[in-house]
Amino acid sequence: MINLVVGAGFSGATVARKIAEELNEKVVVIDSKNHIAGNAYDYRDKNGIMIHKYGSHIFHTNNDEVWQFVSRFGSFNTYMHKVIAVIDGIETTIPFNLRTLYDVFPESLAQRLENKLLQHFEYNKKVPILEFQKQDDADLKFLAQYVYEKVFLHYTTKQWGVKPDEIDGAVTARVPVYISCDERYFQDKYQGIPFEGYASLVHNMLDHPNIEVRLNTKFEDFKEEYDRLFYTGSIDEFFAYKFGELPYRSVHFKLEELDMPYYQSNSSVNYPCNYDFTRIHEYKHFLNDICDKTVIAKEYSEAFERGKNERYYPIPNEANAALYQQYLSEAKALKNVYFLGRLGDYKYYDMDKAIARALELFKDIK
Ligand code: UDP
């Protein structure tokens, strides 16, 4: 059996590895890019700073199987991500939590709001902003409006080109209001950054005698025979856009090298209300790279346009889900062709979810 995997990101590398080692079959992995690891690709620059080419990637999962799988290919530090947001010039942490109250409000008001929150919600509850807005209490209404406006409205408009209620609620629910003093961005059991980077991790996944990797190779240029196809590219492209294009958001990064050891106190600082960029990444925080200089990346969001930029985010809304379903029906009619990954499934997967999906798919075919 010859297997063709299109795309050398986490999804493709996971399924390739499982087939190679558990089914002992040959796998050819192709990628149109000149590197592996998809949008998780990273590299050390001339100063030795590990740069995440396509924006910050933080590994986090509650899935034991996924964690055990990735841990075979590299070890991780114990980095636990926090995000600072600048709200009215004040640095605080998001998701908006009980501590945030004391950063942005006078103490007496913060205290009152905290008491109200604890009366109305269970401690440790995560409340999506669109749900949090549905309240009768005047103080909590005020708070909901504040958080909506200061954290979500402008950031989401910059990021998605639409208001928070014009996109699937699951998107803003990724960053809920958190009734907790836990200031971390994720609460998962396993969190970290691979010491050697994501590209090294994926390289090790693909390093198997049954796997051959070919970069700079487009699917349409691959003319050899194969028995099974795993396609992690965009599903609409596979079907030559016959029902129309699935929309995506793209982002681009403006990198700046600065002659100072650190620019900001945290790897990610969000600017929900100011500037045209959404956030500034400073990558050296992830692995504590020691260096007199630093590199920052300002992130700008834009619409995806074929041939101009890269696909980053599927846009979850009803119309796009319906369009995706049309492609999915076509896909189901094909034999020995499987779609997976953010683009193949048109789903806003985190890295662990993409790997979990690939592991499940492998179990199905096995
Ligand atoms: N979001 C926001 N303000 C923030 C952070 C996030 O409005 O300061 C919203 C925004 O719509 C964003 C979504 O929450 O796209 C999910 O944020 P997350 O940080 O998970 O996005 P990612 O890191 O995947 O780009």
- Are 166 and 198 found together in one domain? no
Is residue 302 included in any domain, yes or no?
no
User: Which atom of ligand 1 sits closest to the CA of residue 270?
Assistant: 8
Torsion sign (Cα): 114, 268, 173, 353:
negative
Last residue in a domain, options 128, 146, 179: 179
Distance CA 324, CA 241 (A): 11
Rounded distance between C-alpha atoms, residue 122 and residue 254, angstroms = 42
Q: Domain check: are 200 and 173 in the same one?
A: no
Helix (H, G, I), strand (E, B) or coil at 6: strand
- Residue appearing with tokens 């051959």: 212
Which residues span the domain enclosing 54? Answer: 2-79+191-242+314-365
Q: What is the pTM of this model?
A: 0.98
* pLDDT tens for each residue of 158-190: 999 999 999 999 999 999 999 999 999 999 999
The pick from 88, 174, 280 for probing ligand 1's pocket by mutation, whose C-beta has the most ligand atoms within 8 angstroms, reads 174
Q: What pLDDT shows up at residue 70? A: 98
Percent over 90 (pLDDT), the chain: 100
Give the pLDDT mean for 102-117.
98
Quick check: is 306 in a domain? no
What mean pLDDT is predicted for residues 233-255?
98
Interval 92-104 mean pLDDT: 98
Residue of 159, 187, 270, 342 to mutate, ligand 1, most atoms within 8 A of C-beta = 159
How many whole angstroms separate alpha carbon 284 and alpha carbon 290?
8
pLDDT, residue 63, reads: 98
Query: Is the preceding peptide bond at 95 cis, omega within 30 degrees of 0?
Result: yes
Cα 170 from Cα 44, distance rounded (Å): 34
Whether residue 72 is found in the same domain as residue 91: no
CA atoms within 13 A on the CB side of 271: 15
> Among 130, 153, 179, which residue terminates a domain?
179
Cβ partners under 8 Å of residue 314, min gap 6:
246, 248, 320, 342, 343, 346, 347, 348
Residue 165 has what DSSP assignment? G
Do residues 210 and 237 both lie within one domain?
yes
Question: Is residue 231, in this structure, part of any structural domain at all?
Answer: yes
Which atom of ligand 1 is the closest one to the Cα of 152? 7
User: Are residues 32 and 73 located together in one domain of the fold?
Assistant: yes
CA dihedral 236→341→186→293, nearest 10 degrees, is: -90
Within a domain: 8: yes
Ligand 1 centroid to Cα of residue 353, in Å, is 17
Does residue 272 fall inside a structural domain?
no
- Interval 208-221: pLDDT, tens: 999 999 999 999 99
174 ligand 1 Cβ < 6 A: yes
Residues 164 and 201 in one domain: no
Check the CA dihedral 309-315-318-323 and report its sign.
positive
Residues 199 and 168 in one domain: no
Distance CA 2, CA 263 (A): 49
In a domain, 294, yes or no: no
Question: In this predicted model, what pLDDT tens digit does every residue of 267-287 receive, in sequence order?
Answer: 999 999 999 999 999 999 999
Strand-pair partners of 214: 30
Contact 49, 291 (CB under 8 A): yes
Residue 61: name the closest of 186, 179, 185, 166 by CA: 186
Task: Report whether residue 155 contacts ligand 1, using a CB cutoff of 6 Å.
Answer: yes
The domain boundary, picked from 157, 179, 201, lies at: 179
- The CA 174 to ligand 1 mean position distance, Å, reads 7
Strands 50-52 and 177-178: unpaired
50 and 10 belong to one structural domain: yes
Cα 20 to ligand 1 centroid, rounded to whole Å = 36
Q: What is the mean pLDDT of residues 330-335?
A: 98
352 and 218 share one domain = yes
Count of residues making up the chain = 366
User: What single-letter DSSP state applies at residue 247?
Assistant: P
CATH code: domain of residue 201: 3.40.50.720
DSSP state for residue 97 in the 8-state scheme: B
Question: Is residue 65 a contact partner of residue 146, using CB atoms and an 8 Å limit?
Answer: no
pLDDT value for 28: 98
Provide the number of structural domains found in the chain.
2
pLDDT of residue 39: 98
255 domain-assigned: no
Q: What local confidence, expressed as pLDDT, does residue 191 receive?
A: 98
Residues 42 and 171 in one domain: no
Residue 293 domain-assigned? no
Question: HSE (CB half, 13 Å, CA atoms) of 99?
Answer: 12
From the CA of 175, give the closest atom in ligand 1.
14
Please report which residue ranges of the chain form alpha helices under DSSP H: 10-18, 64-71, 98-104, 107-120, 129-132, 138-147, 154-160, 169-172, 198-206, 235-238, 284-287, 318-332, 341-344, 351-365
Predicted confidence at residue 127, as pLDDT, reads 98
**Ligand 1 midpoint to CA 192 (Å):** 19
Give me the numbers of helices (H) and strands (E) for the chain, helices first please. Answer: 14, 18
Pair (88, 163) in one structural domain: yes
Query: Is the domain of 6 the same as that of 30?
Result: yes
